[in-house]
Amino acid sequence: MHLIVVGLSHKTAPVEIREKLAVPESRLGEALGRLCSYQGVREGVLLSTCNRVEVYSVVDDVESGYGRIQEFLADTHLSLSSEQLTPHLYWHTGDRAIGHLFRVAASLDSMIIGESQILGQLKDAFEVALAHKTTGVIMNKVVKKAISVAKRVRTETKIAETAVSVSYAAVELAKKIFSNLDEKTVLLVGAGEMAKLAARHLISQGVRHVRITTRTPQHAIDLADKFGGTPVPFNRFKDEMVAADIVLVSTGAAHYLISAEDVQRVVDKRGNRPVFLIDISVPRNIDPAVRYVDNAFLFDIDDLKHRVQQNRAERLQEAEKAERMVVEEVVATVEWMKSLEVTPTIVALRSRVDEIKQAEVEKVLGRLAHLSPQDRELVEGLASSIVNKLIHRTMVTLKAEINSSNGPAFVEAARRFFHLDRPLTQNRQEEGCADQSRYLLPGHGSSEQEEPESAVRKQAR
């Protein structure tokens, strides 16, 4: 059995290719069933997101497995042929496949390193595979390990602790100014996408009150309904700033909407309680002179982008630690998979020699009916002892060498030496096991079998 992955991602394929291969959640079960219907495909998990479509599978043969899965991916969208897909696909097997899965789960292969969404998407994909019974011992172990590795990375590194988007950088700065965002009020001036996204992040971090104003009153009402906030007339937003702890400005105005005097007046009315202002507008809508107002904290789009660049550099440093963790976990998982390869061989070898021993003991005891029960036990014990001593070193060597580079060769050699892939009866026929004369003792057996032996002895004398 071999673990492989075939897929494409934002690194190898444009969005127009990715969106064609994307499998909706409602069709995942059907797709998995179709995947595992291909000859030689034993297990499968399908991970389909906006940035990647990947098939993780356990197959009988690597090369044919690659071909089957590429065919499966082409079949998910009939307008794409295998030839069109090939330039965008990547293929991994063994430790590379395991390492890729671990890196994906830990968000080391994501467009934004450290993002948390991919782990949830992997969990969902795994749950669907479990529900449709398309996983087995290998896939269950490896995917669960990938989830564990991702959790370890988040626990032991700071890969997800700093903001790497402009909108979330604004939230990160707000949390530095206000240690607790609970019960804070945000005023959203304008309806720019980054400002709206920042508002969503602020709400998720505890902000309870949202006030919204735009030049179009109905737009403000619609946004207020969306955020569970309160619409404010545009010509009154400066008065509303007094109650706002955080002011997010994102309009298309070509001039300053808020001056240093406006902010000074607001701070005075707030009793010098701090106010945090974020200007995501281009051109800027807040006069940079606001920075000189005590208890007013102003950040514009360049400040936020600089913050993001610093945070990305920090994440890359943390990613290096995470990569080392992935390597450690891959080694352990590969060793486990190799143990799966040797276990059936050891079991088969033990079964084969026990079968041979039992058959031969029964033949001998059938001709020694005069033996007492105690003597019969001695004969059986002697046979078991000889067999155990003969195969002991083989068993020890197989277990010791399975994790070495020559491990598979040792397994193959054992299977060939002991004919473990053929029925015992076939081995007996080829080895002449039907000849029972070597077990006959003086006084037992026919004269036809005894006479040749006597002639040999006489000739020797």
Positions marked active-site: 50
Residues 6+ apart with CB under 8 A from 354: 387
- Tokens 């079991």 correspond to 347
* Cβ count within 10 A of residue 150: 25
Q: Supply the Cα-derived Rg of the chain in whole angstroms.
A: 36
The full DSSP string for 339-405 is HHHHHHHHHHHHHHHHHHHHHHHHHHHHT-TTS-HHHHHHHHHHHHHHHHHHHHHHHHHHHHHTTST
Q: What angle do CA 13, 17, 19 make, to 5 degrees?
A: 115
Closest by CA position to 189, among listed 259, 236, 254, 255: 236
Q: Which residues are registered as beta bridge partners of 248?
A: 188, 278
- Residue 212 tokens, joined: 């919204």
Query: Residue 345: exposed, middle, or buried by beta-carbon count in 10 A (0-12, 13-18, 19+)?
Result: buried
Q: Is the previous residue joined to 283 through a cis bond, with omega within 30 degrees of 0?
A: yes
Helix (H, G, I), strand (E, B) or coil at 212: strand
- Of the chain, the end-to-end C-alpha distance in Å amounts to 60
Closest by CA position to 312, among listed 203, 168, 194, 438: 168
- Residue 403 tokens, joined: 């994790």
